[in-house]
Amino acid sequence: MKPDWEKLANSFQDSTTQLIADVDCTTEGEPLCDQLGVKGFPTFKWGDPADLQHYDGPRDYDSLKAFADKNLKLQCSPGNLDLCDDDKKAEIKKYLDMGVPDLKYAIEGREIAPAKIDEHVEDYLEELQKSYKDMMEKSKEEKDAIKNAGLGLMKAVLASLAVDVDVESGNDEL
């Protein structure tokens, strides 16, 4: 993947509006990676630097290039209102009119929401794991009870009867 990534970066190196870059999250780039929520490597992010989005498409050169050509361009934003349709302009105006304290409060509330969703998923998975463990223990106990109720002995008796029947019939095959 690294050669394809380097080829992609080279194809955009002279662009004044597009940037293809990489960050080493294990060294001096770690604070940036923490800020952007990067948890695994490699992680691809794209879009407005203030609102980077996760990329989870194919990672070969042709796919990355096609995605970059289509998506890495100036987009509607507070700094590029001329690229916005009327609905987006109205949404941006609504946020601008909120003022800094209210906007920060709204952002904080929305940033907390994904963490709460993740917490809910983790709680659910823990409960699911506990249910699975309980079910497996119950299953083992029930199977052990069946075996301990004489199943093994019954099979042994049946096997001995089958041998006796074969001997009586003159069949010496097992």
Q: What is the pLDDT of residue 92?
A: 95
Please write the tens of the pLDDT for every residue from 42-53.
888 888 777 888
Cβ atoms within 10 Å of 8's Cβ, excluding its own: 20
Q: What is the pLDDT of residue 2?
A: 80
Q: Is the pTM of this model over 0.75?
A: no
Please write the tens of the pLDDT for every residue from 58-108.
989 999 899 888 888 888 889 889 999 999 999 999 999 999 999 999 999
SS (H, E, C) the chain: CHHHHHHHHHHCCCCCCCCCCCCCCCCCCHHHHHHHCCCCCCCEEECCCCCCEEECCCCCHHHHHHHHHHHCCCCCCCCCHHHCCHHHHHHHHHHHHHCHHHHHHHHHHHHHHHHHHHHHHHHHHHHHHHHHHHHHHHHHHHHHHHHHHHHHHHHHHHHHHHHHHHHHCCCCCC
Q: What is the pLDDT of residue 135?
A: 97
Maximum Cα–Cα distance for the chain, whole Å? 101
166 pLDDT higher than 70: no
Q: Provide the Cα torsion 108, 113, 118, 122; round to 10°.
A: 110
Instruction: Report domain extents, the chain.
Output: 2-73, 99-162
Percentage of the residues of the chain whose pLDDT score is greater than 90: 43
Q: How far apart are CA 60 and CA 4, in angstroms?
A: 6
Q: What is the pLDDT of residue 174?
A: 53
Cβ atoms within 10 Å of 64's Cβ, excluding its own: 23
Please write the tens of the pLDDT for every residue from 151-162.
989 999 999 998
Q: What is the pLDDT of residue 142?
A: 94
Fold classification of 2-73 is Glutaredoxin (3.40.30)
Rounded (10°) angle between helices 100-146 and 86-98: 100
Mean of pLDDT over the chain: 87
